[in-house]
């Protein structure tokens, strides 16, 4: 039975006996209920450890499209769960906490994009996957940080394009492809806080370290990075490179998988330029991603809520640009 307080809080807040081994019980529930746990690299390490699959947005979308499980538990943020539901409409898609949103997705409302499209007839819309289903429904092709350049380079050079909502990523793609896409003025609250000054400080302390930066970072940060790309690109580089030290400008959750798969290598997270409260935090974290906890995952599986659904009218149009992305990737 769905309780009023669950709806008000956005997650199942039922007491769990302290003696319960959450990791073990979560795996048991997955087996009993035919569930698969998908987790983004930015979630807590203990969640990545119990997940069936971890990855970036592109990898998670592919996994959601191909899973045979009855239930998908998406440990990430809300737009990722929507994407899972669009690709697997017959599955029950659960999220540990409905409050786990995304500042980037919030920066582009469907009604605003609709108006912008009307003001720019003849333009195709390229939307970053960090968007709501309603925005995707107004989109021609969805992209991720891992495939944006590849997909845009497949389009005719004279194609008129609107790219959103991440301004930094769009600006970078313009610079490396020679395009002149119109850019939405959106940004990620985590990656916007990385600065050249903080990276320079770390570089002076570790002169041999390779600087890696996510495409959502500002232009000046990307300009001084040795490796620019998605979380998957950065992870792959660290795994295959002979370099031992890395300065990492992206959400700190990726460090868990980097350390796990790259023994003997050292990773230095870039702190935010201005720490919240001025307390000098040593890393830059997405508080939305950290809303995912073992307790919430356990309760979500036990009670099969919160479930994410997408309006069928929106879903009909929103899935098309995602499918095109997967075809072009």
Q: Which of 134, 128, 223, 251 is nearest to 181 (CA)?
A: 128
For residues 223-231, average pLDDT: 97
With 0-12 / 13-18 / 19 or more C-beta atoms within 10 angstroms meaning exposed / middle / buried, residue 226 is middle
> How many Å apart are CA 82 and CA 52, to the nearest integer?
19
Q: What is the pLDDT of residues 4-54, one digit of tens each?
A: 999 999 999 999 999 999 999 999 999 999 999 999 999 999 999 999 999
Q: Which residues contact 45 (CB under 8 A, 6 or more apart)?
A: 253, 256
CA 216 to chain centroid: 11
The pLDDT of residue 282 is 54
Determine the pLDDT at residue 274. Answer: 57
Query: DSSP string of 84-147?
Result: HHHH-TTSEEE-S-TT---HHHHTS-HHHHHHHHHHSTTPEEEEESSS-HHHHTT-SEEE-TTT
- 57-66 and 78-87 helices, crossing angle to 10°: 30
Is pLDDT of 279 > 50? Answer: no
Segment holding 74, helix H or strand E:
strand 71-75
Q: Which of 172, 177, 280 is nearest to 221 (CA)?
A: 172
Query: How much of the chain exceeds pLDDT 70, in percent?
Result: 97
The kind and range of the H/E element at 213 are: strand 210-214
> What's the angle, vertex CA 99, arms to CA 95 and CA 100, rounded to 5?
65
H/E segment holding residue 266: strand 266-269
What distance in Å separates the CA atoms of residue 211 and residue 246, rounded to the nearest whole number? Answer: 6
Q: 319: closest CA among 106, 65, 112, 73? A: 65
Residue 99: CB partners within 8 Å, gap ≥ 6? Answer: 10, 11, 288, 291
What angle (nearest 5°) sits at the alpha carbon of residue 92, between those of residues 50 and 305?
A: 75
Q: Which domains does the chain have, with CATH numbers?
A: 4-100+289-311 (3.40.50.10800), 104-188+315-328 (3.40.50.10800), 191-278 (3.40.50.10800)
Can you give the pTM of this predicted structure? Answer: 0.93
Average pLDDT, the chain: 95
Q: Taking a C-beta distance cutoff of 8 angstroms, is the pair 235, 188 a contact? A: no
144-198: per-residue pLDDT in tens? 999 999 999 999 999 999 999 999 999 999 999 999 999 999 999 999 999 999 9
Token code pair at residue 252: 């700190």
Sign of the dihedral through C-alpha 102, 86, 94, 34: negative
Instruction: Write out the two tokens for 237.
Output: 């580089």
Contact 193/284 with Cβ under 8 angstroms?
Answer: yes
């Amino acid at each position: 039975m769905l309780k009023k307080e669950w709806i008000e809080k956005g997650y199942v807040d039922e007491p769990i006996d302290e003696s319960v081994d959450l990791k073990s019980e979560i795996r048991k529930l997955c087996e009993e209920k035919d569930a698969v746990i998908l987790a983004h690299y930015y979630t807590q390490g203990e969640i990545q450890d119990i997940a069936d699959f971890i990855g970036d947005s592109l990898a998670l979308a592919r996994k959601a499209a191909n899973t045979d499980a009855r239930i998908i538990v998406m440990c990430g943020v809300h737009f990722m769960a929507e994407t899972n539901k669009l690709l697997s409409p017959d599955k029950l898609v659960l999220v540990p906490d409905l409050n786990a949103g995304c500042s980037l997705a919030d920066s582009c409302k469907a009604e605003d994009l609709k108006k912008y499209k009307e003001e720019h007839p003849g333009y195709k819309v390229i939307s970053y996957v960090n968007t709501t289903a309603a925005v995707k429904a107004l989109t021609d092709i969805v992209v991720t940080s891992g495939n944006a350049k590849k997909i845009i380079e497949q389009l005719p050079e004279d194609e008129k394009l609107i790219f959103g909502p991440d301004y930094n990523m769009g600006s970078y793609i313009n610079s490396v492809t020679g395009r002149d896409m119109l850019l939405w003025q959106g940004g990620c609250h985590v990656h916007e806080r990385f600065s050249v000054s903080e990276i320079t400080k770390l570089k002076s302390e570790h002169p041999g370290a390779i600087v890696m930066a996510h495409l959502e970072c500002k232009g000046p940060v990307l300009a001084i990075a040795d490796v620019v790309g998605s979380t998957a690109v950065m992870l792959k580089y660290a795994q295959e490179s002979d370099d031992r030290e890395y300065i990492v400008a992206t959400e700190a959750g990726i460090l868990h998988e980097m350390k796990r798969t790259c023994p003997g290598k050292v990773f230095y997270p870039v702190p935010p330029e201005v720490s919240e409260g001025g307390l000098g935090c040593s890393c830059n974290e997405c508080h939305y991603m950290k809303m995912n906890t073992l307790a919430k995952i356990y309760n979500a599986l036990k009670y099969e809520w919160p479930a994410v659904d997408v309006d069928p009218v929106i879903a009909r149009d929103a899935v098309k640009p995602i499918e095109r992305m997967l075809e072009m990737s």
